[in-house]
Structure 1
Amino acid sequence: MNNIFFFIAGISAGMIIFQSAINAPSIFKVFSEKEAGPFLRIIFPKLFLNVSFLSLFGLILSLFNDSIYKQALFFASLLFMSICYLIVPATNNARDQGKDNIFKRLHFISVILTLLTLLLNFSIFFIS
């Protein structure tokens, strides 16, 4: 049964790394910020939703596994990615209205929660 947890956490971590470290920086190298923005506004919410669904699946499975660590990991991952998804409209709105301080704060929250989710999903390989 551990293999399914490793698979879920690995897919989640891989998606985060691919989107944040490979895809987004590459898009900004090819396109201007004005051109890249609309594309990233579509991609990042999908990342947050997909990792949320994977985390929910992991949480449900962990309830039958009697592993409080896995339950906490997938619950936190679900919570963090759900928050990221829910603040996307406010983040985009702040950017559109030129409210740079609000945008920076919301973006920072999103980045930190995504990084924490990545670390949580990596941790399953070491504390299992």
Structure 2
Amino acid sequence: MQIHDRKEGRLRLVPNDGGGRANAKPEQSDSQLLLLSSADNVLVARGKVAAVETIVVDGVAVTLAITISLGHKIARCGIGLGERIVKYGVPIGSATAHIARGEHVHVHNVKIDYTPTHALTETSGAAR
């Protein structure tokens, strides 16, 4: 996997660390999940995946704590605080907290490094 090294100001290769990251041959994952690139450390939900459902994430059975919506990401492996989130084979942000394998990866635990991150929230009541 290639990442941008801020200290050295260049791309560098990162070898597989044994934790499931950057596998050349990814382990099997549930058919409800999509791996876009073998370098990714996230998987994308192909549809709504219900909370408490047990799915296979890179060869490991994981029970989801929350419902994952269509198109949302879950961690393919453990992702440490400050580690890059990799989707499409490129970094899309950094973890703002430790993210466990199978955990929802979204604005609550990811900081976008390139543009401001905004989240829409629902409000109750009528529009004014």
Q: Quick check: TM above 0.5?
A: no
Q: TM-score interval w.r.t. the shorter chain?
A: under 0.3
Q: Normalised by the size of structure 1, how large is the TM-score?
A: 0.24
Task: Point out which structure has higher relative CO (alpha carbons under 8 A, 6+ apart).
Answer: 1
Higher share in helix = 1
The structure with the largest strand share of the pair is 2
